[in-house]
Amino acid sequence: MSSPSTESSRPKVVVTRDLGPDVMPLLRARRDLDVVTWPENRVVDRNWLLQNIPGALGVLVMMTEKVDEELLDAAGPSLRVVSTMSVGYEHADLPELAKRGIKFGYTPDVLTDAVADLSVMLALMASRIAGEVISLVQNNQWPTVSWAPFNLCGYQLSTSRTSPKRTVGFLGFGRISQATLARLIPFGITDCIYTANPSSPPQPSRDEQLLKRHGLNSLRRVDMDELARESDVLFVLAPGGPATRHLINEDFLRKMKVTSVLVNTSRGTLVDSEALAKALREKWIWGAGVDVVEGEPNVTTDHPLVKEPRCIVLPHVGSGTFETRVGMATLAVQNLLAGIDGGSNMPAALDLRNKL
Amino acid sequence: MSSPSTESSRPKVVVTRDLGPDVMPLLRARRDLDVVTWPENRVVDRNWLLQNIPGALGVLVMMTEKVDEELLDAAGPSLRVVSTMSVGYEHADLPELAKRGIKFGYTPDVLTDAVADLSVMLALMASRIAGEVISLVQNNQWPTVSWAPFNLCGYQLSTSRTSPKRTVGFLGFGRISQATLARLIPFGITDCIYTANPSSPPQPSRDEQLLKRHGLNSLRRVDMDELARESDVLFVLAPGGPATRHLINEDFLRKMKVTSVLVNTSRGTLVDSEALAKALREKWIWGAGVDVVEGEPNVTTDHPLVKEPRCIVLPHVGSGTFETRVGMATLAVQNLLAGIDGGSNMPAALDLRNKL
């Protein structure tokens, strides 16, 4: 790779992060391209990016980089593709990209399993009061805690003789929800309910297929009221943005079972943090596990959810496995290369036609 | 229930803990019995027990009560049954019980699902460096941690395009191991290996059945060497005692994959704590999750495993769900009542014939 300051007659692509030894060779193999990579192990300096992007055919960015008019103007008319190593695209001005006819690649699907794994982990941790029992050990209390038949207990994710029916609920029922559901089947989950975007049509044949494949007693699309009232474990797995902001609010949480747990591994904005903290404090629900929080990463130790012992808070590590990040980086490179070659073979291009 | 000091002409049973509103009515329903219950919400006072047990037909104990010669002498020849609300029986002198012809009930099976749930939770937590990422949030570092493609990553429990083969290993392959295996199947686990007590015969037809039911590529009984070398996730699920002490030692841990995780939810004595801490510190393995530690509950914050960021330490909460504890207490009562009625209908009596 050339250093940023080297002039080259080859067409240029800009990459805002070293993608590691598994993925960088895919870029280096394209000897017809000048690959300009931000050399440091931190978020790319905006000025460096603005100075290096002029004339580039493509740019591969992280979700930390704002793709706005300023950046696109700096790139100039040569720019054919923006490829982001993320499934979200809140950092990109899609209408502006559409107007300029620039392709936009992202990385859906490849992180489904990593997020589903984490969702199951958080459901178990919230059910089994993992935050409290870990703290107990870390605070040197194990030697003195007294064993008692119902001490340090949680509710059981698996069915049992006394709880033979377990209903799992999904706010949003896309790929990650379905992958999470599949993982819960051997725990004995008997029923599944979900809500979907009101504008999306019912999918009776898909639902019938899932019901049969998993041997469930029922699988139904429901309204928010029933989702709140019936879920033993509720997974929030929906897109962010204004349309879904605070769908989980005080009204919703007050309807939930006192034995239920809530897991959010999608977008922090879906949940009203103050309301969830209150629900946990006042024991409207049993526990919660969140990998995302509204306003992240500015979530400090005085945040109501971080202070709440019954809330597990993780720093947005849903896609955080080496396998998945390599998969995302690989897909981002494939999108970039196919994008500069015309864009028709991009494995995951976002359709921008309705973004104008 | 009569208070301990009340004289009664009815035959007596002694219960060392209030078993809660779901279970105590099963005892109270036996109006022919005088049920003497330790009234406080702490471990029974030994003197109280010694003073109240004389003449009892049966005693229901927790694993916190030593069932030794002293206690059996105090009870006298009336004692027909000891029923423990636990799956373990290290606290009971089995040869002494056998010699006296006293039945012994315990509570296996009912905790299988609770422990399997916790085993899966710990496997996910160890893989996804849950201890470290939770600490990061609790230590106020989320606002300043820099996102990077491979930052805060763990290894993925689920299979992926780059890791299409995942081998789960079990040290001990009883009910809990098999229930844990079943839960891992939708994560895409492809292969299963296990070790068993050397004196136990091979079970080819059971193994064939499990292989087919779960659609695995392979399921095999192996030796300790292969278990160490091939497991991506290793579950320690075997009985405690001298025969299995420190089966997981430095030699074993050195053979494990650097990307592997170890989970112990059975008995602390199986794992050499110092060796495991060293393995984590020197990165012979990726992570560990333990619900049991040798010497518990005297496990303080200067314990090498508690100090190790890559080790999740829980305070022995494997059976800690309300559903399971109610199930265990119910079974313990059933064992007690059937035991005083002659013992032939005890749902879970330990066979003491070979303990003499």
Residue B9 has what pLDDT? 81
Q: Looking at the domain assignment, is residue B1 inside a domain?
A: no
- Regarding whether A267 and A242 lie in a shared domain, the answer is yes
Q: Looking at the domain assignment, is residue B215 inside a domain?
A: yes
- Regarding whether B70 and B16 lie in a shared domain, the answer is yes
The pairing of beta strand B191-195 with beta strand B218-221 = parallel
> Mean of the pLDDT values across residues B241-259?
97
Partners of A149 on chain B (C-beta within 8 Å) are 17-20, 62, 85, 325, 328-329
Residue B7 has what pLDDT? 57
Each of the 356 residues of chain A gets a pLDDT tens digit; together they read: 444 445 568 999 999 999 999 999 999 999 999 999 999 989 999 999 999 999 999 999 999 999 999 999 999 999 999 999 998 898 999 999 999 999 999 999 999 999 999 999 999 999 999 999 999 999 999 999 988 999 999 999 999 998 999 999 999 999 999 999 999 999 999 999 999 998 999 999 999 999 999 999 999 999 999 999 999 999 999 999 899 999 999 999 999 999 999 999 999 999 999 999 999 999 999 999 999 999 999 999 999 999 999 999 999 999 999 999 999 999 999 999 999 998 889 999 999 988 87
- Regarding whether A59 and A156 lie in a shared domain, the answer is no
**Cβ-proximal residues to B134 (8 Å cutoff; 6+ apart), any chain:** A131, A134, A312, A313, A314
DSSP string, A190-251: -EEEEE--TTSPP-HHHHHHHHHHHT-SEEEE--HHHHHHH-SEEEE----SGGGTTSB-HH
Does B4 have pLDDT greater than 70?
no
Candidates B185, B228, B235; CA nearest to B210 is B185
Q: Looking at the domain assignment, is residue A6 inside a domain?
A: no
SS3 B170: strand
- Number of domains present in the structure of chain B: 2
Residue A343 has what pLDDT? 84
Alpha carbon distance B308, B324 (integer Å): 30
Alpha carbon distance B256, B264 (integer Å): 15
Instruction: Indicate yes or no: CB of B85 within 8 angstroms of CB of A300.
Output: no
Amino acid type, A200: S
In this complex, the residue of B134, B144, B162 whose CB is nearest that of residue A327 is B162
- Regarding whether B70 and B129 lie in a shared domain, the answer is no
Q: State which residue of chain B sits closest to A320, comparing Cα positions.
A: B153
- Regarding whether B131 and B86 lie in a shared domain, the answer is no
- The two tokens of residue A242 are 């204004």
Residue B2 has what pLDDT? 44
Q: Looking at the domain assignment, is residue A271 inside a domain?
A: yes
- Regarding whether A238 and A154 lie in a shared domain, the answer is yes
Does B291 have pLDDT greater than 50?
yes
Residue A355 has what pLDDT? 85
Domain span holding position B238: 112-313
Q: Looking at the domain assignment, is residue B2 inside a domain?
A: no
- Regarding whether A265 and A226 lie in a shared domain, the answer is yes
Q: Looking at the domain assignment, is residue A160 inside a domain?
A: yes
- Regarding whether A140 and A32 lie in a shared domain, the answer is no
In this complex, the residue of A64, A160, A312 whose CB is nearest that of residue B147 is A64
Shortest CA gap A88–chain B (Å) = 15
Instruction: Indicate yes or no: CB of B187 within 8 angstroms of CB of A317.
Output: no
R_g (Cα) of chain B, nearest Å: 23
- Regarding whether B179 and B56 lie in a shared domain, the answer is no
Candidates A98, A66, A62; CA nearest to A83 is A62
Does B6 have pLDDT greater than 70?
no
Confidence of residue B306 (pLDDT cuts 50, 70, 90): very high
Digit-coded pLDDT (tens) for B29-48: 999 999 999 999 899 999 99
Residue A9 has what pLDDT? 81
Residue B285 has what pLDDT? 98
Alpha carbon distance B214, A128 (integer Å): 27
Q: State which residue of chain A sits closest to B154, comparing Cα positions.
A: A321
Does B3 have pLDDT greater than 50?
no
Q: Looking at the domain assignment, is residue A4 inside a domain?
A: no
Q: State which residue of chain A sits closest to B19, comparing Cα positions.
A: A149
Alpha carbon distance B191, A138 (integer Å): 35
- Regarding whether A74 and A196 lie in a shared domain, the answer is no
Interface confidence, given as ipTM, is 0.94
Partners of A314 on chain B (C-beta within 8 Å) are 130, 133-134, 137
In this complex, the residue of B161, B301, B315 whose CB is nearest that of residue A152 is B315
Partners of A327 on chain B (C-beta within 8 Å) are 160-162
CATH assignment at residue A341? 3.40.50.720
Alpha carbon distance B267, B88 (integer Å): 10
Does B8 have pLDDT greater than 80?
no
Digit-coded pLDDT (tens) for B308-336: 999 999 999 999 999 999 999 999 999 99
- Regarding whether A90 and A44 lie in a shared domain, the answer is yes
Q: Looking at the domain assignment, is residue B7 inside a domain?
A: no
User: B305 and chain A: CB distance < 8 Å anywhere?
Assistant: no
Digit-coded pLDDT (tens) for B128-156: 999 999 999 999 999 999 889 999 999 99
Q: What is the percent of chain B where pLDDT is above 90?
A: 92
- Regarding whether A226 and A155 lie in a shared domain, the answer is yes
Q: State which residue of chain A sits closest to B320, comparing Cα positions.
A: A153
Residue B1 has what pLDDT? 44
